[in-house]
Structure 1
Amino acid sequence: MTLQDYASSLSDPNSRKLGTFSYLPPMDAAQLRKQIDYIVAKGWNPAIEHTEPHHARSHYWYMWKLPLFGETNVDRILSEIDACKTAHPGHHVRLIGYDTIKQSQGTALIVHRAACPS
């Protein structure tokens, strides 16, 4: 088995990996919808966060509104992601699924990666 090295460095913000899914090619709309379907099917509460690219490795991102408690409509969740991207075009945006039983994040994934200024 060969391990693949992913070229990333602190000096190149565009190369930084931000979570498990960032090692894969970007998701298309259908794949993102499936991830949101999964969050909804698990009964997790979706939440949207955003931050400037140079702060992406920080533990604290800005919350976009309150978590979408009990939201099960995938289109509404997608429209909130789009609204966040529109309001903060230069920011990374991530979607979190909060597990209400375990009281922790069930999943977190970057849904929009902004270009980092050089």
Structure 2
Amino acid sequence: MRVTQGTFSFLPDLTDEQITKQVQYCLDNGWAVNLEYTDDPHPRNTYWDMWGHPMFDIEDAAGVMMELQSCRKAFGDRYIRMSAFDSSHGWESVKLSFLVNRPKDEPGFRLRRQEGHGRNMRYTTEPYADAKPEGERYGV
């Protein structure tokens, strides 16, 4: 199962050249870029670990791509997402967010169904990978 999150979620994975063009677009618009990683890509998990600090003062996509390569070197077995923030209005709004790395094996999610009062049904999703402890969910 392929996890789909972010702006380009239903497209094939972007190449580094395509990622560089998207990063430059963000920088040209004055947006700050940051990198985050996780081994729990559940759609409701908004608390990913941040790689370094947001890159507010970078003007060239090459600097962001160097940070991405460092992040991939350390956490290449996890999901890595890049986000761009616009702070021109005095608060930060996410303008663009997309996955730039994913593990080789994506086990996916299971659907749990629970019967409620009357004929009500409740559904929830759980990742198959959560059976393993954090940091061991995906093979290297």
TM-score by length of 2: 0.68
- 1:114 counterpart = 2:103: yes
Q: Which has the larger radius of gyration?
A: 2
Compared CA separation, residues 65 and 44, structure 1 to 2 (3 A):
same
Aligned-partner Cα distance in 2 for 1:106–1:115: 28
Aligned-partner Cα distance in 2 for 1:79–1:93: 14
RMSD over aligned CA atoms reads: 1.4
Deviation string, structure 1 residues 25-67 (Cα, Å, up to 9, x no partner): 1112221111011110110001000001xx1121110000110
Pick the structure with more strand per residue.
2
Aligned-partner Cα distance in 2 for 1:96–1:30: 17
Match of 1:7 in 2: none
Secondary structure of the residue that 2:53 maps to in structure 1? coil
Secondary structure of the residue that 2:54 maps to in structure 1? coil
Give the conservation status (yes or no) of the 8 Å contact 2:3–2:106. no
Structure 2: give runs of 5+ residues left out of the alignment: 108-140
**Percent identity over paired residues:** 27
Aligned-partner Cα distance in 2 for 1:19–1:65: 21
Deviation string, structure 1 residues 10-29 (Cα, Å, up to 9, x no partner): xxxx4221123120111122
Match of 2:21 in 1: 34
Report the CA distance between 1:101 and its aligned residue. Answer: 1.6
Aligned-partner Cα distance in 1 for 2:71–2:78: 9
1:97 to 84, 87, 96: 84
Match of 1:56 in 2: 41
TM-score by length of 1: 0.80
Match of 2:32 in 1: 45
4+ runs deviating over 6 angstroms: none
Pick the structure with more helix per residue.
1
Report the CA distance between 1:116 and its aligned residue. Answer: 3.3
2:73 to 83, 86, 99: 86
